[in-house]
Amino acid sequence: MRAGLAALALFGAAGCALPDAALEPEQAGPDFALQGEYAAAGAPWAAQLVAQGGGAFEAAFLRGGLPGAGWDGSPRVRARSAAAGGGLHFESADGALRAELAAGRLRVSSAQGERFELARTERRSPTLGAPPPAGALALFDGRSGAGDFDGRVDARGLLEAGAVSRSHFGSFRLHLEFRTPFEPGGRGQFRGNSGVYLQGRYEIQVLDSFGLEGADDECGALYGLKPPDLNMALPPLAWQTYDVDFEAARFDAQGRKLRPARVSVEHNGVRIHERVALPGPSGRGDAEGPEPGPIRLQDHWHPVVYRNLWLEPR
């Protein structure tokens, strides 16, 4: 989100994506094939390898398994890559963990004498492709232009960031699927940045935050208000899901707010927010009021795309 003048300087007046942005895996180059999640049944650690551009990587090691799949919540152990014998070598700052990546396998050893091997794995959200239930509105299904949205559909039939729904809503249940581009040269907010605005007011951040801690401006965050309880971001170019239960704010006849809006969010099938009270709109959100509002998919100069958006009014 925090783009401002820095974004204009980096991207140029045209607001284009970073030069190394890839929209499909076959365009992404050799680093994309190595980036990702590494795990093995019974292994004491799992790892997330994040491409940093130019053949460099950062590894985040997680005790017990991957986020939402065994990680015990203890601090991630981070290590940067160095080329070694045709592969990549990782060593944490304290020397407690060492790893070698070669032939698609990550061989890890610890100072405690643990030795194990991890394989690259690709997780899939359990709600990916979820059909709209009876009575729900198909906001965008890829079959009839931009559907309910004022926005653009690309040559692949995907809805581009920057779309706004024509319909306005009060309380609802929302399902959507999104994909961030592969931008290894970007950092922080300059990596797959978009956002989903509920009623045009309250933002759930969309960002390539794979392997990060999960701050209040990263993927899954209620932007600037609350970080996700768990960073469930998958690697870029993986399809991800948000399943949102939204309760609109209540106002009296004089327009005084009686009760704040509340939201619960599941990211890739894992609950990351539970009925969080929203004290007011996000920084770029519309002003609060008793009237319903649209679903807005923020355009932040990155080629983030969406599909399978449906909404069930409450």
Mean pLDDT of the region 5-32:
63
Mean pLDDT of the region 24-40:
95
Whether this prediction's pTM lies above 0.85 is answered by yes
Q: Please report the pLDDT score of residue 158 as a whole number.
A: 98
Q: Which residues neighbour 53 within 8 Å (Cβ) at sequence distance 6 or greater? A: 20, 31, 184, 185
Mean pLDDT of the region 159-175:
98
Q: Which residues pair with 245 in a beta bridge?
A: 173, 264
Which position has the higher pLDDT, 55 or 2? 55
CA-CA distance, 290 to 34, in Å (whole number)? 49
Give the end-to-end CA distance of the chain in Å, rounded to a whole number. Answer: 30
Q: Determine which helix (DSSP H) or strand (DSSP E) holds 8, and give its type and residue range.
A: helix 4-11
pLDDT tens digits, residue range 112-135? 999 999 999 999 999 999 999 999
Which position has the higher pLDDT, 3 or 47? 47
Q: Determine which helix (DSSP H) or strand (DSSP E) holds 179, and give its type and residue range.
A: strand 172-179
Q: Please report the pLDDT score of residue 85 as a whole number.
A: 65
Query: What are the domain boundaries of the chain?
Result: 16-121, 137-313
CA-CA distance, 182 to 190, in Å (whole number)? 11
Looking at domain 137-313, which CATH architecture does it have? Sandwich (2.60)
pLDDT surpassing 70 at residue 280:
yes
pLDDT surpassing 90 at residue 164:
yes
CA-CA distance, 208 to 187, in Å (whole number)? 9
Confidence category of residue 4, pLDDT binned at 50, 70, 90: very low
CA-CA distance, 246 to 314, in Å (whole number)? 9
Q: Which residues neighbour 254 within 8 Å (Cβ) at sequence distance 6 or greater? A: none
Q: Please report the pLDDT score of residue 19 as a whole number.
A: 58
pLDDT surpassing 90 at residue 301:
no
Max Cα–Cα distance, the chain, nearest Å: 72
Q: Are 76 and 66 in contact (CB under 8 A)?
A: no
Mean pLDDT of the region 247-260:
97
Q: Please report the pLDDT score of residue 18 as a whole number.
A: 54
CA-CA distance, 139 to 313, in Å (whole number)? 12
Q: Please report the pLDDT score of residue 300 as a whole number.
A: 81
Task: Decide if domain 16-121 falls under CATH 1.20.120.
Answer: no
| Chain centroid offset of residue 186 CA | 15
Tokens linked to 189: 């907010």
pLDDT tens digits, residue range 180-225? 999 998 887 879 999 999 999 999 999 999 999 999 999 999 999 9
Side chain identity, residue 290: P
pLDDT surpassing 80 at residue 105:
yes
Side chain identity, residue 68: G
DSSP 237-282: TS-EEEEEEEE--EE-TTS-EEE-EEEEEEETTEEEEEEEEE-S--
Quick one: which of 168, 169, 194, 198 has its CA closest to 183? 194
pLDDT surpassing 50 at residue 179:
yes
pLDDT surpassing 90 at residue 100:
yes
